[in-house]
């Protein structure tokens, strides 16, 4: 499975785009290790390497959000925390069960799908804010996308106990 960076994923902020490219390189190394039949110790080593870089990237991104007074920092941080929790569960599962077909699919689904969705929505909104073109975040419980009407009233922040993924942006779902 070739995992390659595509330019449509660029958010337009060089520092963030460079880190995202590195995340894709590390994810590609992980998938190569899996596809080459490397044993769980080698795959876990690559997975830990990816994990370490993810933590660094998230920390840098959250620092940037604070510097730019990003209004959705808490929601963005929660996505990061959820990803870290999911990654930790995945690592535990691989350690105990090895690389079953289900665990390989789960790795791909959990990591790559999340990364692409996060970049295309949440990180692009951050980049827009940094460039002065803020979009309004709409948190939608996980289900198929629903077209939401534009509203002059501000969207209330979601209840922290509600499931907050995925995020959609008003201009994405109404255009």
- Could you report the per-residue pLDDT of 90-104, keeping only the tens digit for each? 888 888 887 777 777
pLDDT band at 29 (very low <50, low <70, confident <90, very high): confident
Q: How far is residue 122's CA from residue 115's CA, in Å, rounded to a whole number?
A: 10
Can you give the C-alpha Rg of the chain in angstroms? 17
Residues 6 or more apart whose Cβ sits within 8 Å of residue 111: 27, 30, 50, 87, 90
- Percent of the chain scoring above 70 in pLDDT: 74
Q: Are the C-beta atoms of residues 141 and 162 closer than 8 Å to each other? A: yes
**Confidence at residue 77, expressed as pLDDT on a 0 to 100 scale:** 94
The Cα-based distances of 151 to 34, 77, 157, 167 in angstroms read 47, 26, 15, 17
Task: Estimate to the nearest angstrom the gap between the alpha carbon of 125 and the chain centroid.
Answer: 13
**Confidence at residue 10, expressed as pLDDT on a 0 to 100 scale:** 92
- Is the model's pLDDT at 173 over the cut of 70? no
pLDDT band at 21 (very low <50, low <70, confident <90, very high): very high
pTM attached to this predicted model = 0.68
**Confidence at residue 123, expressed as pLDDT on a 0 to 100 scale:** 93
Architecture of the domain defined by 7-135: Up-down Bundle (1.20)
Exposure string over 140-165, b if 16+ CB within 10 A, otherwise e: beeeeeeeeeeeeeeeeebeeeeebb
**Confidence at residue 122, expressed as pLDDT on a 0 to 100 scale:** 92
Q: What is the pLDDT of residues 113-168, one digit of tens each?
A: 888 999 999 999 999 998 886 555 544 444 333 333 333 344 344 444 444 444 43
At 138, give phi and psi (nearest 5°).
-125, 115
* Host H or E run for residue 113: none
Q: Are the C-beta atoms of residues 3 and 27 closer than 8 Å to each other? A: yes
User: Collapsing DSSP states into helix, strand and coil, what is residue 135?
Assistant: coil
Q: What is the pLDDT of residues 34-88, one digit of tens each?
A: 778 776 777 778 788 888 988 999 999 999 999 889 999 999 999 999 989 988 8
- Is the model's pLDDT at 170 over the cut of 50? no
- Is the model's pLDDT at 174 over the cut of 60? no
């Amino acid at each position: 499975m070739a995992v390659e960076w595509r330019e449509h994923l660029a958010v337009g902020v060089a520092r963030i785009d460079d880190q995202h490219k590195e995340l894709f390189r590390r994810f590609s190394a992980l998938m190569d290790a899996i596809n080459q039949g490397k044993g769980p110790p080698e795959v876990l080593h690559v997975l830990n390497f990816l994990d370490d870089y993810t933590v660094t990237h998230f920390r840098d991104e959250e620092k940037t959000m604070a510097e730019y007074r990003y209004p959705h920092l808490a929601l963005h941080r929660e996505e990061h925390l959820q990803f870290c929790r999911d990654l930790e569960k995945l690592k535990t599962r691989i350690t105990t069960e090895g690389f079953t077909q289900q665990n390989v699919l789960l790795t791909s689904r959990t990591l790559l799908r999340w990364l692409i969705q996060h970049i295309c929505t949440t990180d692009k909104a951050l980049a827009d804010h940094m460039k002065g073109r803020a979009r309004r975040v709409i948190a939608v419980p996980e289900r198929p996308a629903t077209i939401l009407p534009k509203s002059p009233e501000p969207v209330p922040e979601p209840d922290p106990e509600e499931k907050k993924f995925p995020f959609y942006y008003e201009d994405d779902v109404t255009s």
